[in-house]
Amino acid sequence: MIRPTISVVISNYNHGHFLAEALAGVLDSPSPPDEVILVDDASEDQSLDLAKDFARRYPFLRVIANATNHGALEATNIGMRAATGTYVGLFNADNPVSPALVPAVRRVLATHPGIGVVGCGAVIRRVDTGSERIYGFDIPGLTFDSDHVAVLAPQAVAEVYRRGYLWIATAGALLRRDLICELGGMRADLDWLSDWFAVHTLALRYGAALVDRPFVLIREDTDSYGRRAQADPSRINRTLDHLLDTLATRDFTDIRAVARRAPILMLTPLRWPLLARLAHRPCDWDLAVPALVQWLRWQLGGLVRPPPRT
């Protein structure tokens, strides 16, 4: 059996003050990735000089310097298209991973080389207050082995969503590169939902391995890409329309079926804006009814803790 190879793509725009930490987390690992690609999206700070200095010391680090700013999604896609690994991590310069992440992923892939996604827990740090909380995989019925790993077949992933929300942070996930490329990478039409859509589609179709250790630090910033997107009602509606249109196509009838049976899949991260949008789309009332029932259950029994908005 050929050993799966690992690429890590780190996209960066003006995060030079975080970049050394992000690069060290993958480059100084006991078992580093086979290649690391840093995509600098025309930063105006010291990022590019810092990246080139690292590249001189680490031959498996490649720096791609965009002459003009392409935006977060396309910068990630540029790195993904340049990557050659069997699996690829699509990371951000402001969300560093632990040096222990890649070795843990290698151990999983040694016995499950074709799985769709390998995800880990996260430490969420609020930028404004510095307070931290840990997100793991605390879902009823989900058990882990002595290495804190649970491996779920596609049907098991779908079943998990009937009991709770499986939040897989893209910032600390490794994805099958061929499969993410088939989906179109980070789709511009899905905006801030592009990574959520890709990760959960791969998990539901090809299975997921979960490492219940907080191996990624996510800085929860009020000025993050996702927060800015979700502050614009027209942008929210436009993105949700694209998502629902995608789920209405023949290629995604399987994902729609899961969303219908387990409304937690979409309702937990998208919440009330999803319900409001579904109400305006009679063609999607098959999704609206179970989502509304789930929402009412939450209101009567106490809303479950939602995933962080990053």
pLDDT of residue 304: 53
> What pLDDT was estimated at residue 230?
74
Domain ranges in the chain? 6-228, 232-301
Tokens of 140: 């009823």
Reported as a pLDDT band with limits 50, 70 and 90, residue 308 is low
pLDDT band at 82 (very low <50, low <70, confident <90, very high): very high
Q: Is the pLDDT of residue 38 over 50?
A: yes
Q: What is the pLDDT of residue 300?
A: 83
- CATH C-level class of 6-228: alpha beta
pLDDT tens string 153-172: 999 999 999 888 999 999 99
Task: Quote the pLDDT of residue 307.
Answer: 55
173-230 pLDDT per residue, tens? 999 999 999 999 999 999 999 999 999 999 999 999 999 999 999 998 766 677 777 7
Percentage above 70 pLDDT, the chain: 95
Kind of pairing between the strands at 87-92 and 174-176: antiparallel
Residue 298, pLDDT score: 85
Q: How confident is the model at residue 310 (pLDDT cuts 50, 70, 90)?
A: very low
pLDDT value at 2 more than 90? no
